[in-house]
Every structure is written in C-alpha cells, then in structure tokens.
Amino acid sequence: MLKTAVIFADGTEEIEAITPADVLKRAGIACDIVSVSGNCPTGSHGITVKADVLAENFDMRDYDGIIIPGGMPGAVNISQNDKILDALRYAAQNGKLVAAICASPAVVLAQNGFLKGRKATCYPAPNFISLMESAKYTAEDVSTDSNYITANGPRSAMKFALAICEYFHKEPKF
C-alpha cells in the first residue's frame, strides 16, 4: 500500500494539511500526520490535531511521498526541523513525491535548494514569490514538475490533494 506523510507544526494552515490527508485516505493511500511540534500541534486557526508520528521518529524510507502544508509560522517551524529537511533530501534523491502548498514551496523548498530550475508555484505574496528565484515560478493554482507538486494556498487545497492522487494513479471515493 502506498504511504504518505503530511508534516504538521504549530502554525500550520489546517485546510492544507487535513484536505490532502483526507482525500488520500479516500483514495486508498495511507497518510500519517507527522508532527514537528509534539503530540498535539495547534494549527494557525487554533485547531489541534493528534500526530500519528513525531518528527524524531519519522523515517522517509517507509513512505512514498512527503507533503508540506503552509501557514505561518508553520512553514518556518517545518523549515527549521533538520529531520524533515533530511527526509526531503532523501525523497528528492530517491524520486519520491515532494509536495508543498502555500508558503512552504518558498519557505521550506526553495530556501533549502529543492526547487532549483523546477516549475513551481506558491502563495502569491511578493515576499514568498521573491524566495522562488531559483524556481520557474508559474503563478498557477497547482504546478507539477516530475515528482514535485506545489500549490498556491488554501483555496487550492482540494486541487492539490487531487493532483497528489493523480500522481499516484489513484482515484478518491467521495
């Protein structure tokens, strides 16, 4: 069975984490919530979630893809976690899915060198777009480039989730 990880931190945009997790499970793809902020991190709108796995116990070798939601300061909190950055490096080097939405394509992926020369999008604010200088910024709702999928924010959470399902050739059941 395919298995994915949605990374969650204090300050994560909840809709960008929960929508992919829900849709992937409806498509028969296992999805763990991996927390960088303890057992019960609280998102940017005050919603607390229960983690399946803590970042310190996360092993990307057990997963087919990693999904990074945005939200502030969630994206910053994720970008500062060495275990997650190591997981992203492993995923990138091994052709596994790397997906990010909203602030995270800029704050987590671009700032750490993952989007160099890749087609990608992010939240359409000048401070995030400026971080995308090494990428081929598209301004699309969702951009796909090989094993990378990026999206522009909360309004595209469902499109993002469906693009991930399409990447894995799975159809969610609604």
Enzyme catalytic residues: 102
| Cα separation values, 49 from 18, 43, 130, Å | 9, 8, 31
SS3 110: helix
Query: What is the four-CA torsion angle of 26, 41, 16, 85, rounded to 10 degrees?
Result: -100
Cα angle value 134/102/53 (rounded, 5°): 105
User: What span, in angstroms and rounded, lies between the C-alpha atoms of 107 and 70?
Assistant: 9
* Distinct helix (H) and strand (E) counts, the chain: 6, 9
Q: Which amino acid is at 72?
A: M
Burial level of 116, CB count in 10 A (0-12/13-18/19+)? exposed
